[in-house]
Structure 1
């Protein structure tokens, strides 16, 4: 009911804004210094016929900037959104056309360029909202220097072209136009493909394609008759035939929030909207990969998707059950199940993406498949396919679960009655069923647990009454506030005051280093027993307190031995500080680039594996997947035991667009940046894989990715490594005696990670397996090679 009320309120506000916009004069030429405001006229610029408007529209608790169709449909049709993943602006915002482009003026003198003139030789002179749905900016010669048709969001209009290498990304909901869960990519290989956004864009991630791989098509086009087609020179591949051509018909193709690409016609005369085609055309929403998140499977009821968690798992977000699931029990150490702490739960008629880490093996019985997984330390689940009598071992996370009568899924769970920690078969958990152990054993377990729980509750109440009487409330709060964060690691990060951190660092006296996000200072918690590192964030996005704390909780929930632990934070006033565990042995850069020595070969191999495992956790195993965006030796820190730990993860989205190290709009450091950063292409986890590949080669060779004081053919490390690899001269790369078989393996991993096409790079899970020597590695093509 609340959501329906919000939606009605959204429509009423939107209608009032449109009404104000409709009353203003209609003109096509917008001159310099002309401006718009969210709540005072003019709120938008109209096209000559008035069918399209460009300007502010209400979204959430504020306003976004975009283009919409002004025909009063029941559902407002937004066809383009500016800076769609930024927070909505307030009513005090102003949008102004300047000679630099469209500027958004915000509070506290903040300025953002919505549409930037990329030509240094000419200035913006005027602009127009056209009847095609295209907003354009002209120079003084009335040549177009910027247009929205070149920067699509989720829609293309009649006359618009989606060139190779470009994409559409769905919105989150009908009323939230931020980037959603699905993408349609016009690939450079001539294929038009749809994937979930949080995928590796591999063939097995796709849920629809045009089937035109390597046929040369270079663009997706929509004409004014509603014909949707792909084009290469004069050769076309029709996705739809043509329809009517009337001045009152507006055609558009939108990747909708449910992941389906639909061709629409809007009849301005009859005020109606029709769906003319759908890709894929399916009545089952579960056929759209990514409808349900990781570790959950999709079932459909009356055409609506229902996402269910694996047994032993719970929803990442109870309010958004399609976001995926995570385990709510701890995994046991691997001991081949000699103490019966784990068992296999059977889930019938569900199959998943076959992302196996070992070759499928023949198995004549379901029971044998489950037993094989139970005895394998690396196996978290197994699929038994009855049609082929095949057993497939899987690791987490599980993806794209759907109903399939020919497949049985086995999930490894913890048996708490045998010493495991927190049983996954907890009553009431999604998808939970009876344990495989006997009913008698289960009943005994429940009885024991119940008695223990009641005893624990009584003891806790008694202790609470004792301490409540013994310590005044004020003193109890003070003790709680000053407690050692290490005692509360499971609920970290805690909130510090600015005064506490200033005292802990002796007035921010001892500087440890300075980076893109700010300066790091050494500190000591009260009592002097624990050293900390305090990072003062500078030039970060000004978020509200709630948004900042949400990001801190996300980072604080990451638990891995190869990640630097976030202990706490401060968000007092305008101060934003982060409190980390102290890393006593500096950074990887200090270790491998120093002139007077370097780690031996075995240490370098171990460090590379540490880093790979940490990135793999960020990409695939933590509750909220994180793309680091700046993997480099300076962000790899070494603890007391010389264990490598990744720092600064989860912070990329806090960095202001203007606060980048090398390129405007780019997160990362020159030399470690994946090629897609320079191509305005989508940034996925594969950008981190590329950066890791460069770091891996630096670890192998104990030198930086670019050095000018070397022979000419060795200046660029990546090129030099490939030349030495192809010439069979790997010994030139290393400064010491090493295992040549291992060196060959690490170099091949580095060359695969640094492929120019993201889809050609391995996942970090596969990188870990390759570094461990568990899989064969094929011959990599040159790093710049593109298929």
Structure 2
């Protein structure tokens, strides 16, 4: 019935001309029409167990869908065909024989074309465009494409299902670009992100994506009015840009670097909402649930007393697992319930009653006695009693609000999980039992008070004699660390029996805290302490005690008794990164090594920029990177440079630097040491992670002895495959990692990137530029 005619593009032709009579199939070739460059394609793409018609950016390991026809239609079964009819219509014939129009131009089409811009167009006989996919955006804007006033970008359901999802991005006629949940009629209160680009002087603005990646609004004359992103990225045939309204309801700007054999290295250049603020997206979780950030993932959780509507699809929301009792009003509704507090958790304001200037206890009691109250929110001495359903819940550690959730006692959580602040309303007891109970409790309390007083006096007297050198109370209060006596740590380590590590700063012993349920610990005995030890140690404890990051080894406590200085850390069960890289039977996978590199970089960035006092580690190396039970990388020995003698931070012959990792500026007389010294050490460490070998191996061939020099030569000669041997890795990722490392080990500290820039390059958020010539870095 249909004549298949597919003509390839001539070299000088700007189009892939598709003539009438051409046909595409779902289960045989051809199933798509490519653009001249081969970067884009139009046709059938897999969607779930079927197919959809759309346009995609061809890439490896997977394609990127940029446009979908009839986005919310059901998927097509195998056997469907798409044909460009002889009367100029683009028609879809399903496997059951139903015919549907894909494009509806006002005139008869003579030729179709898939352009290199990603635009699929139909031409009339005079080569005028009469229909274009660019005029009907779905979730993506490509370079040269416009979003006109009143048009919407819709998020997809998932990465594999491109049907309309939960969010929409609307360009208003006043120039504002607003994102809000799709299930709500447009209302300003539901907007969770806005470009705030409304203009009083310019109306009917259009949203554009420029060739240099700039996202901007232009007026009816095509002139730029407002920039949403600054742009300025390279204009290159091998670089493609797209702005996509993603599954999670966040607008992101992507760069695709086209590589060999169709590979495509994608990176994020800009995002409307930062990763740590993703719970701000209203509707990311369903009714009665709340959103929380869990590492790289967003999780939807149910409050106590609720369960998931669909356990397999947790973002569908939650429902109550109990109903109000019939006798609720008769017994004031408080007999069988307790209050479970959820700190830092809030939902949309939909209160039916508000109590002013009350305590948390009063708020809890009032909710217990109110049959209609299931959840109350307490903040700033105000109590908001809320009605179901609860919407747009989120947990934010910086929010002082606390949700108070009413649950049935019989269905409450196990005792270990109950909060200390839980208010339990006890059933009424007979007056006699109450009187007897009060008398017995009173006498018992008096006895305990007298006993406690004498015991306390005895302990104070003993403490003054035996532990006059113990840490002062102000240190404990300020840093919230546990203060151990020396004898306690002797017992915990069985008299420092099992040594698990050593370095210039001291020896490390394994121990167990019996009073903490057998918690395993690592105890470091510091050596060569500064002369005025007590004062300096107290100051450093205040600094280290306030550091907290998932990629830093957690400090549990300390001992400062007499001349003894000990630090108590959490025990890392999987040893050091050095053992994992150099001594393991099998080297970690490439993806694992990339993850570890980013985790180390994040920990160093925290020390350099985010903790209260900037800390230069001074000794970044594999032995100081420890792996927890989940194989997460954590930095140890941070902050100890200030605890040790000054000479230990000035030469690589002792602890504050290790040969091979020391930055060149350490050897300059009166040279200032900055955080860039750690950047250099990280660069060397990054090379070791890439190759799973030490920086210097004397038994290696002469040209490979110094790892840094060998990698540099391989990079310059275009032979990076040598550095990973026979291991199969993504060559573009390998090149990126190597370039980052070469930037880090530049001789001049000012030329080295900040650790924040290193993270952005490693994650692919920004493109890694070629490093400076090899003369800019040296081996140490």
Per the normalisation by structure 2, the TM-score is 0.48
Structure with the greater alpha carbon radius of gyration: 2
Per the normalisation by structure 1, the TM-score is 0.48
